[in-house]
Amino acid sequence: MAIWLLLLSGSVGMGNPLAPDDSPVFVSPTQPLPAGAPASLWLYCINSSSQTVRSKFTASLDATLLAGGAATPVRLWLNTNRQATTALIAPGGFLRVEYQWEVPASLTGNATLDVSNYNAIAVRVVATPAGASAGGTGAQPPARLPQVASASYLGFLTNHLSVYEPIYFLLGTSPAAEFQFSIKYRIFNLTNEFNPFGHLYFAYTQTSYWDLISKDPSFYDTSYKPSAFLLYDNVLTNAFVRLSLQPGIEHESNGRGGAEERSLNTAYLQPTATFALTDTLRWRLQPRAWAYLSEGTYNPDLAKYRGYGDLYTDFTWTDLQSQERIQVGVKARVGDEWSHSGLWFDLRFNLAGVPWLQKFNPTIEVQYFTGYGQTLRQYNESSHGLRAGLCLWY
C-alpha cells in the first residue's frame, strides 16, 4: 500500500512523483456525490524518506469549483472528529486524512475541485434522490476545534520498525508450503541526512519451505538471514527516477547442523532505481553484487552455483480509482561460470474490484521457480516450484 501511495502522489498532480518527504495529495472520489449534501474528500500523506516526519493539517482549505465554465469558491473543513490535526508518519508509511465540503445543490455532472496549494480533483455530482435529505447549505466550521489527540502512540515502533522484504504464504508443489517473514529495525532515530548512523539498519528475514501436504509434515528447509546495512533512500530523486543505495553484510544459514548444514557470510552492495514511466506504471531495477566473507564446511563450492550477484526487476501498474494493483517481477541468478542459473517469477495482484472482498482486499501471489538453488539446502540441485497464496506486504 505504501508503494501504491508513493506512485499516487506523483500521478495526481503534486509535481514530483518520487518526492523524498511527505507529499499530500487528494484522491478523486470513486462514487458520484449527491448534490446539496456534505461529502468527504481524502488527503493522503506519504513519507517516502528514511526519516519519521510530522505532518500538520489545516483546519480549513479554500478551493475553487470549476463547472460549466463557472468558478465557484468553496471551503473544505478538516473532520477533527476522526483524526488529530497533527500526526507522525513513519519512514515508508502513509496517513489518510478526511476533509468535508458541501456540494452545491444546483450542481450536476462532471466538475473539477481545485484545492489551494494542493492538486485538482475530478468529481461527478448527481441529483439528490426524491425524498432524501440533501442536508443544509453553507457548511460552517465547528465552533471550537476538539483537543488535538496525541500522535505519541506511534512512538518507538513507528520510528524504528518496518517491513523489509515481501511477506507471504504460498502453497503448491513439493515442498508444498513456502512462507516468508521479514522486518527491518532502524538503529538510531537521527534526522541529520549526512550522519551515517541515521541510515543504519538491522534486518531479519526468514524463508521457510514446509512439507505440509504429506504423511509426515515437517520443515524441508529454512533460510535465516540476519543482516546489517546502511540505507540511503534518496541518492538521486527527480520527477522520473529515484535511486537508493544499500551497502551491507548478511549471514545466511539453514540451522540444520551436521552434513545438511548450509551457511555463508557476504558483504554486498545493492542499488535500486525506480522509474515513473507513466502516472500508473512504475519500473524498478535492483541489482545486487556480493563477495563471500566465508562459506560453510558443507557448501565450499557455493559460489559455483550462486555466483557473485543477482538481478531483480519488476513492473507495477496501479489503477488510481479502484486501487487495483498488478505487479510482475523476475529475479535471475547465475553461477560463477555462467551456468547453474536460477529464475524466480512473481505475479501479484489485489482484488479491489470484488465487492464482498473490499474490507479484506487481499493480494494474491503466484510464484514460479526453475533452476538451481530454490532453497539453501538445494543450492547445488536443479528443481522447479509453482505456488500461489496470499502476499501480506511487498
For the chain, the structural domain boundaries read 2-129+142-153, 164-393
Topology (CATH) of 2-129+142-153: Immunoglobulin-like (2.60.40)
Output the CA torsion 45→48→53→59 (10° steps): -10
8 — pLDDT class (breaks 50, 70, 90): very low
Question: Which grid coordinates belong to 35?
Answer: 448534490
Counting runs of H as helices and runs of E as strands, what totals does the chain give? Answer: 3, 24
Q: Residues 32, 125: contact at Cβ < 8 Å?
A: yes
What is the model's pLDDT at position 230? 96
Name residue, grid cell 493480494: 363
**What CATH number does domain 164-393 carry, 2.40.50.140, 1.20.1250.20, 3.40.1350.10, 2.40.230.10?**
2.40.230.10
pTM of the full structure: 0.64
Average pLDDT of the residues in 196-204: 92
Instruction: Give per-residue pLDDT as tens, 117-172.
Output: 788 888 888 886 655 444 443 334 433 333 333 344 445 666 688 889 999 999 99
Instruction: Give per-residue pLDDT as tens, 215-228.
Output: 888 999 999 999 99
83 — pLDDT class (breaks 50, 70, 90): low
